[in-house]
A and B are shown apart, each in its own frame.
Chain A
Amino acid sequence: EVQLVESGGGLVKPGGSLRLSCAASGFTFTSYSMNWVRQAPGKGLEWVSSISSSSSYIYYADSVKGRFSISRDNAKNSLYLLMNSLRVEDTAVYYCVRDVKQLVLTGLDAFDIWGQGTMVTVSS
């Protein structure tokens, strides 16, 4: 079964840091770019970051550029998101998602596999 499982969410104070992880299974992880998409409580979807299959191409939304860092470990079939200098407005469910097509380098694609999400709450 194709599956993405996120972990690492929690409550953190403004200015703090958190590292999210995503474990992939059931498909050839090294063939796909991966992404993080977030959804604030009661709000819509916002793309956060993308990383190509070999980590050569990395993209960020302006709202997180300079604060968040995406990475992957293909040997462990895992995706990560290191979030620094967290703000109240970063509060959201964070989804790990897979590109529809293989080997996309542009950071632009639809998303066909989604994890269940992990909640990040930034509050004092």
Chain B
Amino acid sequence: EIVLTQYPGTLSLSPGEGATLFCRASQSVSSRSLAWYQQKPGQAPRLLIYGASSRATGIPDRFSGSGSGTDFILTISRLEPEDFAVYYCQQYASSPQTFGQGTKVEIK
């Protein structure tokens, strides 16, 4: 099973700042089969990025994904008030597909 480790656990930032979230896999994630989700309290997760760098439908271009192999990054260029949430990465390269433990982006 591929274990995904996200860091930092919590990111304290102000609106307008940029955010960089990391996801490290315990083994290589082939075909860049990595996704990022955003979850707000009481809501279902929302797909942001799949295929490591493809934005999902309706996702603003301030969200971008990069990386390959074992190291992946989600970048939010300028935080909007609605971006403060928990972010999860997911690998779907090998079974079972697994999620990271999440990074909370909170208002500083």
Contact between chains at B99 and A110 (CB < 8 Å): no
The segment from A23-31, A43-51, A68-76, A78-86 that touches chain B is A43-51
**Within 8 Å of chain A (Cβ to Cβ): is B94?**
yes
**B46 adjacent to A114 (CB under 8 Å):** yes
Taking CB atoms and an 8 Å cut-off, the chain A residues in 98-124 that contact chain B are 100, 106-112, 114-117
B44–A116 touching, CB < 8 Å: yes
CB–CB A117/B44 < 8 A: yes
**Binary per-residue interface labels of chain B (47-81) against chain A in the complex, 1 for a CB within 8 Å, 0 otherwise:** 10011000011000000000000000000000000
Of B37, B44, B93, the contact of A108 (CB 8 Å cutoff):
B93
Asked if B14 CB lies within 8 Å of chain A CBs, one says no
Check if A110 sits within 8 Å of B88, measured CB to CB. Answer: no
Determine the main DSSP class of A at the interface with B: loop
- Count of chain A residues with a beta carbon within 8 Å of a chain B beta carbon: 20
A106–B37 CA distance with the chains assembled, in angstroms: 21
In the bound complex, do residue A47 and residue B96 qualify as a contact, i.e. CB atoms below 8 Å apart? yes
Chain A residues in 8 Å Cβ range of B37: 45, 111
Q: Is the CB of A59 within 8 A of B95?
A: yes
Residue from the list B46, B51, B96, B99 in contact with A62, Cβ < 8 A: B96
Q: Is the CB of A109 within 8 A of B44?
A: no
| Most chain A beta carbons < 10 A, residue from B51, B88, B99, B102 | B99
B90 nearest CB neighbor, chain A only = A110
Contacting residues, chain B, for A59 (C-beta < 8 A): 95-96
Render B90-107 as a binary contact track against A, CB cut-off 8 A, 1 for contact: 101111111111100000
Closest to A59 in B: B95
Contact of B50 among A46, A62, A110, A116 (CB under 8 A): A110
Give bound CA distance, A46 to B57, whole Å: 23
Considering the complex, which residues of chain A in the window 20-62 have a beta carbon less than 8 Å from any beta carbon of chain B? 44-47, 59, 61-62
> Can you list 10 residue pairs at the A/B interface with Cβ under 8 Å?
A44-B100, A46-B99, A59-B96, A106-B95, A107-B97, A108-B95, A110-B50, A112-B47, A112-B50, A112-B57
Task: List residues of chain B with CB under 8 Å of any chain A CB.
Answer: 33, 35, 37, 44-47, 50-51, 56-57, 88, 90, 92-102
